[in-house]
Amino acid sequence: MNLDSIVFELSVIAVGAAVLGTLFLYAKQPIIIAYITLGIVVGPSGLALITRTDHIEQISHIGVILLLFLIGLNLQPAKLIRLFRKTSLLTFVTSVFFGGLSLLFALLLGLDVRSSVVIGAAMMFSSTVVGLKLIPIITLHHRRTGEVMTSVLLLQDMLAILVILFITGENSDHVLVTFAFLAGKLVLLGLFAFLGVRFVMIPLLKKFDVVQEYTFLATLAWCLLWAETAHILGLSYELGAFVAGISIASCKVALVIAEHLKPLREFFLILFFFAVGARLDLRLDPYLLLSAIAFGVILVPLKAAVFRLAFRSTGESSDLRKELGVRLGQSSEFSLLVAFSALSAGVLSDKGAMVIQVTTIVTFITSTYWVVHRYPTPISNNPSPR
């Protein structure tokens, strides 16, 4: 039997996710945790049915790309710009606060200064995938909770890209210039995407809209085209996909497109959460392991409290401040990317990388439980969260 076959690996993930997902739902537990648990159990640190996860991680990234594309399909650019203006300072200040707190934690663990700085940088952000995955579709697209969260998370993604560029040494002596170039590239990307929709996509979709397969293929291609273009320009796949979604949101078929792409998005997001669990290596010094777990558990309510206070400055209602704080309480998938980049650049120790991974996954799990049992989500079988 060829255990390295991609068909075998996808079969293990699909069957395992279905079985564990069923058990978790019967136990009234969040199904996302089932996918992470599956990665731990059958991944390299568990039964090792899947020993190499790098290609699974690359494939799973498509789910994140599709998630941001679908969000863009339901947002108007003018409204998003207004939200950016309102949340930019809040996003920067809270990110710096969480970074400083995490830096202090790493120093208290006895890690070297460089690793501690990287840990601080990695833990500044909230998860785009977990945060937006746990919002009901109607709330995400049509209510202020989803709009404000999207603006904060996208601004954090921009900051995360800047952090990665700084860590890897590219243009590290000119941070503000680098950020200005990134912003300019993003504007240029958006301009060409909107022109492409007006003069290419709309005419094609109008002419061949009766062929559903073509509509599906053309819009998927549009999403991946701009995701890859953004990556080439030094931005992220997610930002490119988001721009692609906004650019095509004015088309009448936007809602139909969204419905067609949802099942594909869900499959790839299963792979994403599996990869999160599979990359976790628990063979860590017990003191560091327990410390990372404890910090992850503490960090979630702490971030929720800080965000709740911060959103008071933007004039949000008390209930909305509380909900936004809870939903933004986890660390980010960018934390893992920062760890990988720093490890490759030789500025982060192996122990530091594992502290980041363990803490991040613990915040995923803790935050997911809190959100599912407190607020409405599309993945809970509890119709009336407390």
Task: For residue 2, tell me if it sits in a domain.
Answer: no
Q: Is 315 left (phi over 0), alpha (psi -120 to 50) or beta?
A: left
pTM of the entire predicted model: 0.79
pLDDT exceeds cutoff 50 at 383: no
Do residues 221 and 261 lie in contact, with contact meaning Cβ atoms separated by under 8 Å?
no
261: containing domain: 27-374
d(CA 49, CA 4): 9
Report which of 32, 313, 334 is spatially closest to residue 148, judged by C-alpha positions: 313
d(CA 239, CA 229): 10
Average pLDDT of the chain to the nearest whole number: 84
pLDDT of residue 68: 81
For the ranges 3-12, 128-137, 176-185, 240-249, the lowest mean pLDDT is seen at 176-185
Task: For residue 381, tell me if it sits in a domain.
Answer: no
pLDDT digits (tens, 9 = 90+) for 297-352: 999 999 999 999 999 988 888 999 999 999 999 998 888 878 877 887 788 888 88
pLDDT digits (tens, 9 = 90+) for 165-199: 677 654 455 666 776 787 788 889 999 999 999 89
Token pair of 343, please? 């490890």
pLDDT of residue 363: 93
Mean pLDDT confidence for 227-251: 86
Helix axes 113-122, 333-345, angle to 10 degrees: 150
pLDDT of residue 356: 92
d(CA 2, CA 241): 35
Task: For residue 14, tell me if it sits in a domain.
Answer: no
Task: For residue 380, tell me if it sits in a domain.
Answer: no
Task: For residue 351, tell me if it sits in a domain.
Answer: yes
H or E element: which one contains 324? helix 318-327
d(CA 205, CA 222): 12
Task: For residue 343, tell me if it sits in a domain.
Answer: yes
Task: For residue 54, tell me if it sits in a domain.
Answer: yes
Report which of 269, 245, 243 is spatially closest to residue 127, judged by C-alpha positions: 269
Task: For residue 298, tell me if it sits in a domain.
Answer: yes
Tell me, what CATH number does 368's domain have? 1.20.1530.20
pLDDT of residue 1: 47
Work out how many domains the chain is built from and give that number: 1
